[in-house]
């Protein structure tokens, strides 16, 4: 039983990533850009980033935070506010005399700024909140998310945030390559972080806080790092989501969004990055594409298929999620990661089994 | 005095909303006291009771519809506990909370499916929907009845907990889960009773709340639910008088903030209060001292 050495692994991984991007490029050339596939891929990549960032907090550090929608909101707004072209501002901020921000940032710096602003907010929120434990932390972060939403809708901040009106006309992406690149880089950074000594400290905190403290890990410091970094990437995810939707409104970032992200984390497996990515694409594909038919009243001949009507898709989802939570609480991947070794092992077993069966017959 | 005169309508509305929050908050505080679980689905149960009333009163007379709504809500609350929480009794607390969020997601989506997402007009219940004049400001009878009804129900509940056998079992279980099991208390029965009482009060609360607000939407339960939870934390989780007092304070403050013209912030205020409480005095106004919160 030989394993792949590191060099081979890196080569194969790189080849797979390049292959994926070439595949995406080819698909974009041949399929019409209105194809549902691209919607799923774009939104899936964005959700993957947000879900992984939540998993870093809930699955790897054991901090049950429900503030993700609030942090995405900050990211989305920061991006939108700083990238609306100067000439479009009077139209967007029509009730606030064109707003007070009179300059425009390029796209990439604006996305990074979105992450940084979110991280700063998260740091400040983390100072008091991270002293709380489990469900109290959950409810406090949920509360902060609501407060953030109220602030962004406040009339007095209108010159910056446009009050409760839409933000629009900022640069967006058209190619599916863009969200894949940004989300890919961010997820890669998170994976590197998880495999570093910080990541091991996070896992130690998750498994047993007292033991971790006894081993010399500074709890407050590490929780704060995890919370801030997770929010940084949630902010970037928010900025990407803003680009995907082409308009932003604070009222969309409700607690329901956080619940949905949390449930994707659970489906993928709490504590598995690849599980989160897989679950995001699966969830988005099902909800936006494959299960759309559940929402349409359908006739087979003259027979009306029962139950199918607007909203049935979501009920179906909710049932699936409850089944996963109750009976299969490890999700798709549990705490395992997808790895080449495991894949090769899996196929080898399959083949050797078949070979044995062949020789037996 | 001038302040009170000017703000009387808001204060009255606040007392009324506070009473309705109090009825929901008791469900949270009792469940948390026993299971250490934030029952995220409780607010949605409250919303479901609202929809039941809308649909049942369309075909049945009110004197049958109202008791039926209360009974169905109680059954729903009981079923939620049996299906979603009981199998996870030995699981980590986080799993149970995720299950609660899952149930909340399920109820909201089902409500959305059944109603196609449209807001429904809540039926007018005669007598309590009538207008009444209180110290020179006009309001509905429900505003006046709510605090009285709340106080009566709470008094009955406190008596139940203090003087009956099941009440004693509840107190024992919330003090120490394992030991009370060793003493021969049937944990599952006690927990079911807790959910039944909580659901009953939520159903009554929903009758009063929606008579006031007149429309029911699939997400109508989440905000009052969260606020009632904050009230429970404010009063000291596990303490029923604390939850009631907390709910009244939140209801009144919220409406005064609305009256001052800060409508955007009236949801945020509740959460700001929660965060201040959690940091300054995590055991709440009447909560027992415990060390596992902070």
Which residue in chain A is spatially nearest to B113 when comparing CA positions? A311
Answer yes or no: are the C-beta atoms of A275 and A331 closer than 8 Å: yes
Residues 6+ apart with CB under 8 A from A206: A59, A60, A61, A62, A271
The domain limits of chain A are 36-290+331-360
Answer yes or no: are the C-beta atoms of A255 and A68 closer than 8 Å: no
Q: Which stretch of A194-203, A327-336, B168-177 has the lowest confidence by average pLDDT? A: A327-336
Instruction: Summarize the confidence of residues B156-167 as an average pLDDT.
Output: 92
Higher per-residue pLDDT: B29 or A309: B29
The residues with which B134 forms a beta bridge, in sequence order, are: B137
Dihedral angle, C-alpha A188, A191, A193, A196, nearest 10 °: -130
Residues 6+ apart with CB under 8 A from A47: A237, A261, A264, A280, A281, A283, A284
**C-alpha to C-alpha distance for A61 and A231, rounded to whole angstroms:** 13
**C-alpha to C-alpha distance for B81 and B48, rounded to whole angstroms:** 16
The residues with which B139 forms a beta bridge, in sequence order, are: B132
Residues 6+ apart with CB under 8 A from A340: A4, A9, A12, A13
Closest Cα in chain A, distance from residue B105 (Å): 6
Residues 6+ apart with CB under 8 A from A223: A61, A63, A126, A130, A205
Answer yes or no: are the C-beta atoms of A148 and A133 closer than 8 Å: no
Stated as kind and residue range, the H or E segment containing B228 is helix B222-235
Residue-wise pLDDT for B70-83, tens only, equals 999 999 999 999 99
Which residue in chain B is spatially nearest to A307 when comparing CA positions? B113
Chain A positions touching B38 (Cβ under 8 A) are 135, 138-139
Residue A353 has what pLDDT?
66
Stated as kind and residue range, the H or E segment containing A303 is strand A303-304
**C-alpha to C-alpha distance for B285 and B275, rounded to whole angstroms:** 14
ipTM value greater than 0.90: no
Sign of CA dihedral B7, B8, B9, B12: positive
Residue B293 has what pLDDT?
39
Residue-wise pLDDT for B246-272, tens only, equals 999 999 998 888 888 777 777 888 888
Cβ contact B282–A132 (<8 Å): yes
Closest Cα in chain A, distance from residue B293 (Å): 6
The domain limits of chain B are 24-221
Question: What are the C-alpha distances in Å from A151 to residues A7, A46, A77, A126, B60?
Answer: 50, 25, 12, 18, 45
Residue A340 has pLDDT above 80, yes or no: no
Residue-wise pLDDT for B184-230, tens only, equals 999 999 999 999 999 999 999 999 999 888 889 888 888 888 899 88
Higher per-residue pLDDT: A353 or B20: B20
Both tokens assigned to B10:
């808001």
Residue A361 has pLDDT above 70, yes or no: no
Instruction: Summarize the confidence of residues A299-306 as an average pLDDT.
Output: 73
Answer yes or no: are the C-beta atoms of B33 and B39 closer than 8 Å: no
Q: Is B115 exposed, middle or buried (0-12, 13-18, 19+ CB in 10 A)?
A: middle
Chain B positions touching A139 (Cβ under 8 A) are 38, 226, 229-230, 233, 274
Q: Which stretch of A152-161, A174-183, A296-305, B274-283 has the lowest confidence by average pLDDT? A: A296-305
Residue-wise pLDDT for A204-213, tens only, equals 999 999 999 9
Residue-wise pLDDT for A267-289, tens only, equals 998 889 999 999 999 999 988 88
Residue-wise pLDDT for A112-147, tens only, equals 999 999 999 999 999 988 888 777 888 889 889 988
Closest Cα in chain A, distance from residue B277 (Å): 10
Q: What is the CA radius of gyration of chain A?
A: 22
Residue A256 has what pLDDT?
87
Residue A328 has what pLDDT?
83
Residue-wise pLDDT for A26-83, tens only, equals 888 888 877 888 889 999 999 999 999 999 999 899 898 999 999 999 999 999 999 9
Q: Which of B241, B237, B251 is nearest to B290 (CA)?
A: B237
| Average confidence score pLDDT of chain B | 87
Residue A358 has what pLDDT?
64
Instruction: Summarize the confidence of residues A171-195 as an average pLDDT.
Output: 92
Neighbouring C-alpha atoms within 13 Å toward the C-beta of A357 = 6
Answer yes or no: are the C-beta atoms of B12 and B146 closer than 8 Å: no
Residue-wise pLDDT for A223-254, tens only, equals 999 999 999 999 999 999 999 999 999 888 98
Name the residue facing A140 among B268, B278, B292 (closest C-beta).
B278
């Amino acid at each position: 039983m030989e394993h792949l050495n590191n060099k081979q692994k890196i080569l194969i991984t790189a080849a797979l990533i390049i292959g994926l991007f070439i595949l995406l490029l080819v698909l974009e050339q041949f399929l019409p850009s209105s194809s549902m596939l691209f919607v799923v891929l774009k939104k899936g990549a964005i959700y993957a980033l947000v879900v992984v960032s939540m998993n870093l907090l809930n699955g790897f550090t054991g901090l049950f935070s429900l503030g993700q929608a609030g942090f995405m909101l900050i990211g989305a707004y920061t991006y939108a506010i700083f990238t609306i072209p100067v000439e479009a501002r009077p139209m967007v901020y029509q009730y606030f005399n064109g707003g007070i921000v009179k300059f425009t940032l390029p796209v990439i710096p604006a996305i990074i700024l979105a992450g940084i602003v979110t991280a700063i907010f998260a740091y400040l929120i983390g100072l008091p909140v991270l002293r709380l434990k489990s469900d109290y932390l959950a409810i406090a972060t949920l509360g902060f998310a609501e407060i953030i939403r109220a602030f962004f809708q406040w009339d007095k901040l209108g010159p910056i945030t446009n009050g409760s009106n839409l933000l629009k006309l900022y640069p967006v992406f058209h190619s599916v390559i863009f969200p894949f690149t940004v989300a890919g880089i961010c997820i890669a950074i998170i994976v590197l972080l998880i495999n570093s000594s910080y990541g091991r400290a996070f896992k130690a905190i998750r498994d047993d806080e007292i033991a971790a403290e006894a081993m010399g890990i500074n709890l407050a410091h590490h929780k704060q790092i995890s919370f801030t970094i997770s929010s940084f990437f949630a902010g970037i995810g928010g900025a990407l989501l803003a680009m995907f939707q082409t308009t932003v409104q604070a009222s969309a970032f409700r607690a329901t969004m956080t619940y949905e992200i949390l449930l994707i984390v659970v489906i993928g497996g709490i504590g598995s990055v690849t599980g989160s990515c897989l679950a995001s694409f699966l969830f988005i594909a099902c909800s936006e594409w494959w299960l759309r038919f559940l929402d349409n009243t359908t006739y087979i001949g003259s027979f009306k298929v029962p139950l199918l009507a607007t909203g049935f898709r979501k009920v179906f989802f909710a049932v699936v999620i409850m089944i996963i939570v109750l009976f299969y609480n490890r999700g798709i991947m549990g705490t395992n990661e997808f790895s080449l070794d495991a894949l090769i092992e899996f196929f080898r077993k399959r083949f050797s089994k078949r070979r044995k069966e062949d020789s037996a017959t | 005095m001038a302040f009170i005169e000017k703000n009387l309508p808001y204060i009255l509305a606040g007392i009324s909303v506070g009473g309705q929050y109090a009825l929901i908050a008791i469900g949270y505080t009792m469940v948390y006291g026993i299971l250490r679980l934030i029952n995220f689905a409780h607010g949605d149960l409250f919303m479901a009771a609202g929809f039941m009333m809308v649909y049942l009163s369309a075909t049945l007379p009110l004197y049958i519809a109202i008791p039926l709504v209360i009974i169905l809500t109680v059954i729903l609350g009981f079923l939620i506990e049996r299906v979603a929480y009981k199998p996870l009794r030995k699981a980590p607390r986080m799993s149970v909370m995720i299950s609660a969020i899952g149930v909340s997601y399920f109820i909201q989506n089902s409500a959305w499916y059944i109603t196609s997402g449209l807001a429904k007009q809540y039926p007018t219940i005669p007598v309590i929907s009538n207008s009444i004049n209180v110290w020179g400001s006009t309001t509905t009878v429900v505003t006046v009845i709510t605090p009285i009804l709340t106080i009566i129900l709470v008094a009955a509940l406190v008596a139940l907990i203090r003087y009956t056998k099941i009440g004693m079992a509840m107190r024992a279980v919330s003090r120490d889960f394992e030991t009370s099991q060793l003493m021969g208390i049937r944990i599952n029965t006690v927990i079911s009773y807790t959910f039944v009482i909580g659901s009953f009060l939520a159903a009554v609360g929903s009758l009063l709340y929606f008579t006031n607000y007149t429309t029911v939407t699939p997400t109508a339960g989440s905000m009052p639910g969260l606020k009632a939870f904050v009230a429970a934390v404010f009063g000291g989780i596990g303490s029923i008088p604390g939850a009631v007092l907390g709910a009244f304070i939140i209801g009144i403050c919220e409406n005064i903030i609305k009256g001052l013209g800060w409508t955007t912030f009236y949801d945020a205020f509740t959460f700001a209060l929660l965060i201040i409480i959690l940091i300054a005095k995590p055991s709440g106004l009447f909560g027992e001292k415990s060390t596992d919160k902070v």
